A = this chain, B = another copy of it.
Amino acid sequence: MPATATDPRTSRARSWWGWGYADAHPDDAACVELGALLPGTLARPLPLPRIADLPIGSPGVTPPASLAHLVTDDPAARAAHAMGKAYRDVIRALRGRPGRIPDLVARPAADQDVADLLHWAGEHAVAVVPFGGGSSVVGGVEYRGDAHRAVLSLDLTAMDRVLEIDTTGRAALIQAGALGPVLEGQLRPHGLTLRHFPQSFEFSTLGGWLATRAGGHYATVRTHIDDFVQSLRVVTPAGLGTSWRLPASGAGPSPDRLFLGSEGTLGVITEAWMRLQERPRHKASASVAFADFHRALDAVRAVAQADLAPANCRLLDPGEALLSGAAHDGSSVLVLGFESATAPVDDRLRAALELARAHGGRGPAPTADRPAGTEAEADRAVSAWRSAFLRMPYLRDGLARMGAVVETFETAATWDRIPALIDAVRTEVGAAALKATGHQATVNCRLTHVYPDGAAPYFTVAVAGRPGDEVRVWDDIKAAATDVLHRHRATVTHHHAVGRDHRPAYDRQRPEPFALALRAAKHALDPHHVLNPGVLID
């Protein structure tokens, strides 16, 4: 089995230590330019880490001959499966202190392979860490501790095919290991799309999205991947299960909803029937500027409560607006987008803009409704934003090489808590960053998803680190962030998942009877406790 350092679709080498493609990383000169934006960072970038320098020993176990063809102990593959892609992971790699390197990496090709690997792991106390695209930013794919004899990273990306398409009901049976572009490429010839575009789209899989309840394309109504699931196929140590393909059902608690968000602790999702959509033929978008962020929040709430279902309803605070080039005068900017495969959307945009203006928004004339494909000003803006958005994690890694601490976190809360929550995060996280580093931090906020009853704020923190001590600096900042979220009863995560990083906060947030139920379910399905230990529940 080859190392997975090369993307089979693009033939471009994946970075083992940082985001995405190795050739897309800023070079040393670009890193220096980035560093100049943050006072107090290093003069020269940290050198690129080398796999040869990693503490990669011999595997603690040897798989049986029957499984040998699925498993590798290749150092490059093991290094690439050691951690996710949080800032915390990147800086640890850069500083030569990565998380525990797995003993083995397996690439099953079928359900039976997964079942056989789980069976073997259970019998030999080998921890199994399910691995899709490896883009976790919460420590979801990294083993911690030493309760197991060895660690196996279970890479699902060899199971990446669209197996069946139902064009009548617009659904497809898709293997869980398909990366975003891999599955969309197979759906495109049928005129259909899953239309799930997280920032990690290129480097994350359907199974990862399902196991972590990923947030996707839509800002309203159908915000999470959960809403597009028709049925799941799950391999557990206690056996395989497939739920029926149903548009809806009231037969007991939803079986799928127990596995959605289970983060590899209850079983391995290997296939799913997913609801698809036609590509949109009508689109309209426009931006509105606000002098006052709190009034902008009121505007967004009005839009969210008006049943208009914008596909995009992104509010950028002044810092985010400045960074993305949307405003340079301290304004907040609300970006509204509507789309439909069947009907014009200009009425909905007009209604949303009226609400925004009624709350003090200053807006340009909207882009008229038009057939998709027509290039227009707003399209170019959207497309520029999307490029910048996809480029962001690479810049984060460049800044990390300059000794900066740069990371994001996100949450959701009801509207009555949102204004005070955002203000408190800004103040308290900024103070924690200053205390930890001696430098003034940038703390920006945008709303990524909105609901009639609340919103999901997304925060970005950037500050020069304390050289050599960046992990502790980030942990201090993150502790302050977690604390303020908890005090405001804002969820520990809206769509980044729990992993190991959010585990203590999740334990405090989760109702105790559900903890009892989840623990019991875990024990029933994973009696040897080998599935993603440390995540969600013990």
A491-B246 contact given A342-B308, A453-B275, CB 8 Å threshold: yes
Number of A interface residues at 8 Å Cβ cutoff, please give it: 99
Contact of A262 among B252, B262, B275, B536 (CB under 8 A): B252
**A532 interface contact, C-beta 8 A:** no
Could you say which of B242, B246, B412, B520 contacts A520, with CB atoms under 8 Å apart? B520
Known: A170-B453, A241-B512. A491 touches B249 (CB 8 A): yes
- 8 Å CB contact of A253 from B168, B223, B257: B257
Q: 3 nearest interchain CB pairs?
A: A247-B454, A241-B511, A517-B521
Name A250's contact: one of B212, B257, B266 (CB within 8 Å): B212
A241 to B518, CA, bound (A): 13
Please tell me if A191 contacts chain B, counting CB pairs below 8 Å. no
Indicate whether A234 reaches chain B with its CB closer than 8 angstroms: yes
- Give A171 to B415 CA distance when docked, in angstroms: 10
- Whether A389 is near chain B, meaning CB under 8 Å from some CB there, is no
Other 12 A-B pairs with CB < 8 A, given A246-B490, A247-B453: A170-B305, A244-B509, A245-B489, A248-B412, A250-B261, A250-B495, A253-B258, A253-B261, A254-B260, A307-B341, A516-B521, A518-B521
Q: Within the assembled complex, what's the spacing in Å between the Cα atoms of A520 and B238?
A: 13
Residue pair B261, A258 in contact (C-beta under 8 Å): no
Per-position contact with B for A401-413: 1 when CB-CB < 8 Å, else 0? 0000000000011
CA distance A195 to B280 in the complex (A): 31
Whether B171 lies near A514 (C-beta < 8 A) is: no
B307 pairs with A250, CB closer than 8 A: no
A287: Cβ under 8 A from any B Cβ:
no
Contact of A513 among B224, B238, B249, B494 (CB under 8 A): B238
In the complex, what's the smallest C-beta–C-beta distance from A224 to chain B, in angstroms?
Answer: 7
Interface of chain A residues 211 through 256 with chain B (CB within 8 A): 212-215, 221, 223-224, 230, 234, 236, 238-255
Residue picked from A234, A236, A266, A343, most chain B C-beta under 10 Å: A343
B348 near A246 (CB under 8 angstroms)? no
Q: Does A500 contact B (CB under 8 A)?
A: no
B514 and A241 contacting across the interface, CB-CB below 8 Å: yes
Q: Could you mark each residue 437-460 of chain A with 1 if its beta carbon is under 8 Å from any beta carbon of chain B, else 0?
A: 000000000000101111110000
The reply to whether B247 and A493 form a contact with Cβ atoms under 8 Å apart is no
Indicate if A384 sits at the interface (CB-CB under 8 A): no
Whether A454 touches B169, Cβ cut-off 8 Å, given contacts A247-B414, A306-B342, is: yes
CA distance A447 to B306 in the complex (A): 28
Contact partner, A307, options B224, B308, B343, B525, Cβ 8 Å: B343
Q: Mark A369-408, 1 if CB is under 8 A from B, else 0.
A: 0000000000000000000000000000000000000000
State A253–B493 Cα separation when bound (angstroms): 12
* Known interface pairs A221-B221, A246-B413, A412-B246; A252-B308 also in contact (CB < 8 Å): no
Q: Are B453 and A250 in contact (CB under 8 A)?
A: no
Q: Please give the distance in Å from A221's CB to the nearest CB on chain B.
A: 7
Inter-subunit contact B351/A234 (CB<8 Å): no
Copies of this subunit:
2
Give complex CA distance A311, B215 in Å.
Answer: 26
Residues from chain B with Cβ under 8 Å of A262 in the complex: 252-253
Q: What CA separation (Å) do A60 and B513 show in the bound complex? A: 31
A511 CA to B234 CA in the complex, in Å?
Answer: 9
Residue contact A275 to B347, C-beta cutoff 8 Å: no
Q: A422 in the interface, Cβ–Cβ < 8 Å?
A: no
Q: Once the chains bind, are A456 and B248 in contact (CB under 8 Å)?
A: yes
* Complex Cα spacing A510 to B511, Å: 25
Q: Return chain B residues, CB-CB under 8 Å to A117.
A: none
Is the CB of A267 closer than 8 A to any CB of chain B? yes
* A497, CB-defined interface residue at 8 Å: yes
The answer to the question of A259 belonging to the interface, with a C-beta cut-off of 8 Å to chain B, is yes
Task: Looking at the assembled complex, report how far the CB atom of A349 sits from the nearest CB atom of chain B, in whole angstroms.
Answer: 11
Q: List chain B residues, Cβ under 8 A from A149.
A: none
Q: What separation, in Å, do the CA atoms of A413 and B171 have in the docked complex?
A: 13
Contact of A453 among B171, B243, B511 (CB under 8 A): B171
Contact check, B248 vs A223: say whether CB atoms are below 8 A apart. Answer: yes
Question: By the criterion CB–CB under 8 Å, are A489 and B244 in contact?
Answer: yes
Q: B491, A244: Cβ atoms under 8 Å?
A: yes
Q: A169 is contacted by which of B215, B258, B415, B525 (Cβ under 8 Å)? A: B415
A/B interface sample: 22 pairs, CB < 8 A? A239-B516, A241-B511, A241-B512, A241-B514, A243-B514, A244-B509, A245-B414, A246-B414, A247-B412, A248-B412, A250-B491, A250-B496, A250-B497, A252-B263, A253-B257, A253-B262, A275-B452, A305-B342, A306-B343, A308-B343, A343-B347, A518-B521
Interface centre among A489, A498, A512 (most CB of B within 10 A): A512
Q: Do the beta carbons of B251 and A493 come within 8 Å of each other?
A: yes
CB neighbours (8 Å) of A252 from chain B are 261-263, 498, 506, 510, 518, 536
By beta carbon, the residue of chain B nearest A213 is B250
